[in-house]
């Protein structure tokens, strides 16, 4: 039996400004979900968005409000006995709200894993890898700062794949910035994320120049509403084109996969609507011959651990992951931080998510946000 479901808004400053085409981030607000059961188990889940409502249709506040107002009464009344039954119930009675659903499913799977003594990865298909490589996103807004940051990351064996956020400057300025970084780091994989900022014509020009300069992957160059144009770009260029914002729930991923609209899918647990939905998207991509990339909604450590469990189950993860969210934050909310070393992250092995949340830290940051405290 579920005894309680509490939600908290936990804002944590970022280590530097993080500039995307749609927003500039100075903090990340983690929406944490804490579920307790009558038989003494507790589970944690997390949802994040990027820049409030800048990136997607849910915000930290909408996630908290909708869980408190709609999800929690439904779950406490119906008392589903498993995470699968809970998700069935939520999907039947609540439309949309995939980020909120993801946070709830994460907490319930954490509990289920603890009860069974198994890591979440074993409940959602079974892990085939214990370590995953992690890219870093250079987004300071300044070329020299980005190069210095990247060189330091390589020297410290933290990251050797770099993603650049572009799309907010004139195309030729962005291309110059990317190619300067590619030239300064010839051994590294350099990818760009345009976050939908270009028109199809701009994308034809920009991608052509980036491809000629040796860039390795182009992410969501155009609007998520223009599926046909994404397919045209994918067919026109040799460089791999990755779908991100356009990949949403499994239903919509199925249509994209069937139509082979991209070379690579970025999968994000929040965007997918949960961990099992993200596994399903991975399986569909695999069947359609589409490569996989483990994406991030810049989650903190709880969402990142949950994502790592999902990506550990993918038979192949050709373009690796970008699970660097916790490293962008000035503080951690775990008793023991996630294990990042040698360019990658170790998938936790303990029961459930395999992490221990530092409640004092959580409440310390939540107190900066009075409305965030549990009732
Ligand atoms: C996105 O669009 O991929 C991932 C890394 C980052 O800096 O922003 C996110 C969102
Ligand atoms: Mg992206």
Dihedral sign of CA atoms 73, 303, 65, 101 in order: negative
Check pLDDT > 50 for residue 375. Answer: no
> Distance (Å, rounded) from C-alpha 27 to C-alpha 11?
6
Check pLDDT > 50 for residue 298. Answer: yes
Q: What's the burial of 189, exposed, middle or buried (CB within 10 Å: 0-12/13-18/19+)?
A: middle
- Per-residue pLDDT band for 21 (boundaries 50, 70, 90) equals confident
List, for residues 217-248, the tens digit of each pLDDT value: 999 999 999 999 999 999 999 999 999 999 99
Whether the CB of 299 sits within 6 Å of ligand 1:
no
Residues spanned by CATH 3.30.390.10 within the chain?
Answer: 2-117+356-372
List, for residues 150-174, the tens digit of each pLDDT value: 999 999 999 999 999 999 999 999 9
Centre of ligand 1 to C-alpha 61, Å, is 20
Question: 258 Cβ partners below 8 Å, 6+ apart?
Answer: 288
What residue owns the CA closest to ligand 1's atom 4? 296
Centre of ligand 2 to C-alpha 152, Å, is 24
User: Which residue numbers are catalytic?
Assistant: 165
Q: Is there a contact between 35 and 45 (Cβ–Cβ < 8 Å)? A: yes
**What's the chain's Rg over C-alpha atoms?**
20
What share of the chain has pLDDT > 70, as a percent?
A: 98
What pLDDT, on a 0 to 100 scale, did the predictor assign at position 71? 98
> Distance (Å, rounded) from C-alpha 22 to C-alpha 50?
9
Check pLDDT > 70 for residue 373. Answer: no
> Distance (Å, rounded) from C-alpha 313 to C-alpha 278?
10
What pLDDT, on a 0 to 100 scale, did the predictor assign at position 14? 97
Whether the CB of 296 sits within 6 Å of ligand 1:
yes
User: In the CATH hierarchy, which fold is given to the domain comprising 2-117+356-372?
Assistant: Enolase-like; domain 1 (3.30.390)
- Per-residue pLDDT band for 369 (boundaries 50, 70, 90) equals low
The model scores a pTM over 0.80: yes
Residues spanned by CATH 3.20.20.120 within the chain?
Answer: 123-346
List, for residues 258-267, the tens digit of each pLDDT value: 999 999 999 9
Q: Is there a contact between 265 and 256 (Cβ–Cβ < 8 Å)? A: yes
Chain centroid offset of residue 269 CA: 6
- Give the total residue count for the chain: 375
* pLDDT (average), residues 29-55: 97
Give the closest ligand to the alpha carbon of residue 139.
1
Centre of ligand 2 to C-alpha 195, Å, is 6
Superfamily of domain 123-346: Enolase-like C-terminal domain (3.20.20.120)
Whether the CB of 322 sits within 6 Å of ligand 1:
yes
Check pLDDT > 90 for residue 252. Answer: yes
């Amino acid at each position: 039996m579920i005894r309680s479901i509490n939600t908290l808004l936990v804002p944590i400053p970022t280590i530097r400004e993080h500039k995307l085409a749609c927003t500039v981030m100075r903090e990340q607000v983690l929406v944490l979900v804490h579920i307790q059961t009558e038989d003494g188990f507790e589970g944690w889940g997390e949802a994040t968005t990027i820049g409030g409502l800048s990136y997607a249709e849910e915000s930290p506040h909408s996630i908290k409000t909708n869980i408190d107002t709609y999800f929690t009464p439904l779950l406490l009344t119906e008392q589903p006995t498993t995470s699968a039954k809970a998700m069935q119930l939520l999907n039947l009675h609540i439309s949309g709200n995939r980020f909120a659903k993801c946070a709830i499913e994460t907490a319930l799977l954490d509990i289920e894993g603890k009860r069974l003594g198994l890591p979440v990865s074993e409940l959602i298909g079974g892990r085939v890898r214990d370590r995953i490589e992690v890219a870093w996103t250079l987004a300071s807004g300044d070329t020299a700062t980005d190069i210095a940051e990247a060189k330091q990351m390589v020297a410290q064996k933290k990251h050797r794949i770099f993603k650049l956020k572009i799309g907010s400057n004139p195309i030729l300025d962005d291309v110059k910035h990317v190619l300067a970084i590619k030239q300064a780091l010839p051994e590294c994989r350099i990818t760009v994320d345009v976050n939908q900022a270009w028109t199809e014509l701009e994308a034809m020009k920009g991608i052509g120049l980036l491809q000629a300069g040796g860039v390795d992957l182009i992410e969501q160059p155009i609007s998520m509403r223009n599926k046909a144009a994404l397919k045209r770009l994918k067919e026109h260029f040799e460089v791999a084109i990755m779908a991100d914002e356009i990949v949403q729930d499994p239903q919509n991923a199925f249509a994209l996969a069937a139509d082979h609209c991209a070379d690579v899918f970025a999968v994000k647990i929040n965007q997918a609507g949960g961990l099992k939905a993200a596994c399903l998207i991975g399986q569909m991509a695999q069947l359609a011959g589409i490569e996989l990339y483990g994406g991030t909604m810049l989650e903190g450590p709880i969402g990142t651990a949950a994502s790592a469990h999902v990506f550990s189950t993918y038979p192949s993860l050709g373009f690796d992951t970008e699970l660097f969210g916790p490293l962008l934050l000035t503080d951690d909310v775990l008793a023991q931080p996630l294990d990042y070393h040698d360019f990658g992250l170790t998938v936790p092995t303990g029961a459930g998510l395999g992490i221990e949340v530092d409640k004092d830290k959580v409440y310390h940051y939540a107190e900066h946000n009075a409305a965030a405290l549990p009732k």
